[in-house]
Amino acid sequence: MFSDRVLSIELSGIRKIFDMAQGNVINLGLGEPDFQPPPEAMEAIHEAVKEGYNKYGPSKGFPELREAIAQKFSEYGNFSANNVLVTTGATEGMLTTMLALLNPGEEVLYPNPGFVTYRPHILIAGGRPVDYPLMQENEFMPTQEELQKRITPRTKAIIVNYPNNPTGGVIDASHIKMIIDLAEDNDLIIISDEVYFHLTYDSPPQTFLGKYDKVIFVNSFSKEFAMTGWRLGYLIAPSEFIEQIGKMHYYTVACPQSPIEYAAMVALQKSRYYTDMMCERFRARRKLIYELLKKIDGVNPNMPKGAFYMFPRIELNADPRDIVMETVKRGVLCTPGEAFGSAGKRHIRFSYAASEENIKKGMEIFAEVIEKFR
Ligand SMILES: Cc1ncc(COP(=O)(O)O)c(C=O)c1O
Residue 13: predicted pLDDT: 65
For ligand 1, residues with CB inside 6 Å are 31, 89-91, 115, 161, 165, 193, 195, 220, 222, 228, 233
Per DSSP, the three-state class of 199 is coil
Confidence of residue 21 (pLDDT cuts 50, 70, 90): low
Q: Which residue has the higher pLDDT, 374 or 79?
A: 79
Report CA(316)–ligand 1 centroid distance (Å).
31
Per-residue pLDDT tens over the stretch 30-63: 899 999 999 999 999 999 999 999 999 999 999 9
| Substitution candidate for ligand 1 out of 134, 220, 249, 252 with most atoms within 8 A of CB | 220
Residue nearest (by alpha carbon) to ligand 1 atom 14 = 31
Per-residue pLDDT tens over the stretch 199-209: 999 988 899 99
d(CA 160, CA 108): 11
Backbone angles phi and psi of 242, in degrees to 5:
-60, -40
**Mean pLDDT (whole number) for 267-272:** 97
Helices (H), the chain: 4-7, 13-20, 39-50, 63-72, 89-101, 118-124, 144-148, 173-186, 221-224, 239-253, 258-270, 272-294, 320-329, 356-373
d(CA 126, CA 185): 25
Per-residue pLDDT tens over the stretch 209-218: 999 999 999 9
DSSP bridge pairs for 205: none
Asked if the model's pLDDT at residue 22 lies above 70, the reply is: no
Asked if the model's pLDDT at residue 171 lies above 80, the reply is: yes
Report CA(91)–ligand 1 centroid distance (Å).
6
Residue 49: predicted pLDDT: 98
Asked if the model's pLDDT at residue 161 lies above 80, the reply is: yes
Domain limits, the chain: 4-37+273-373, 40-270
Quick check: 193 and 94 in contact, CB under 8 A? yes
Residue 18: predicted pLDDT: 67
Per DSSP, the three-state class of 194 is coil
Per DSSP, the three-state class of 134 is coil
| Substitution candidate for ligand 1 out of 195, 311, 349 with most atoms within 8 A of CB | 195
Is the CATH number of domain 4-37+273-373 3.40.718.10? no
CATH fold for the domain made of 40-270: Aspartate Aminotransferase; domain 2 (3.40.640)
DSSP-assigned letters across all residues of 261-313: HHHHHHHHHH-HHHHHHHHHHHHHHHHHHHHHHHTSTTEE-----BTTEE--E
**Mean pLDDT (whole number) for 174-192:** 98
- pLDDT above 90 coverage of the chain, percent: 94
Report CA(261)–ligand 1 centroid distance (Å).
18
| Substitution candidate for ligand 1 out of 30, 116, 223, 227 with most atoms within 8 A of CB | 223
Per-residue pLDDT tens over the stretch 222-262: 999 999 999 999 999 999 999 999 999 999 999 999 999 99
